[in-house]
Amino acid sequence: MLTPPQIEFIGIEDTFVEAMTLLWTKLFLLLAIFYMVKADEKSRKGTEFGCFNSSHKMNLNKDLKINATSVLKCRHTIQVPICWGRCDTWDIPDFQWNHSVCSYGRKTLKKVKLLDCDPNHPDPFMYLYVADTCECKLCKGIGCNYLHT
């Protein structure tokens, strides 16, 4: 005698458990991938896109020529905050296009006293702009030389 094949019915509870297991597995994998990408980004410091504030050593020089043979020297080396980085763009590289460049968001004019100066130097001070914040901005005109003014 032939016996009919056994048909197994899956209950609603079993389907729900399988769906939740699949959902949690996908969520775990997604978080693992996200963590690996973030860890890889940290290992490639300096290669990411963005505009950042960084400290830079700057040599200042304000020598004063008195005559053909006499110069009053005035110098100093300082650390200043500058902007550096790369801004994401899809533009064709051409000087006539307005490209996005890393520049000051906000800047401050600082007065700096040069410490290595001749005692007879009349003005041992210099003024320079320092970056308070940095951001990607469009380069205006035919060049970016005057973007900061």
Per residue in 30-59, pLDDT (tens digit) is 777 777 766 555 444 455 678 999 999 999
What topology does CATH give the domain 50-138?
A: Cystine Knot Cytokines, subunit B (2.10.90)
> Mapping DSSP to helix (H, G, I), strand (E, B) and coil, where does residue 24 land?
helix
The domain ranges of the chain are 11-45, 50-138
Q: Where are the alpha helices (DSSP H) in 44-99?
A: none
DSSP state of 133: E
Cβ–Cβ contacts within 10 Å for residue 58, how many? 14
> Mapping DSSP to helix (H, G, I), strand (E, B) and coil, where does residue 56 land?
strand
Tokens 């763009």 label which residue? Answer: 89
Angle, vertex CA 120, rays to CA 114 and CA 126, nearest 5: 25
pTM strictly above 0.75: no
Taking phi over 0 as left and psi of -120 to 50 as alpha, with beta for the rest, 19 belongs to alpha
Query: Which of 19-23, 24-28, 87-91, 101-105 tops mean pLDDT?
Result: 101-105
User: Which residues, in sequence order, are CB contacts of 97 under 8 Å at separation 6+?
Assistant: 91
Provide mean pLDDT across the span 99-125.
91
Contact between 105 and 133 under an 8 Å Cβ cutoff? The reply is yes
Q: Does residue 105 or residue 12 have the better pLDDT?
A: 105
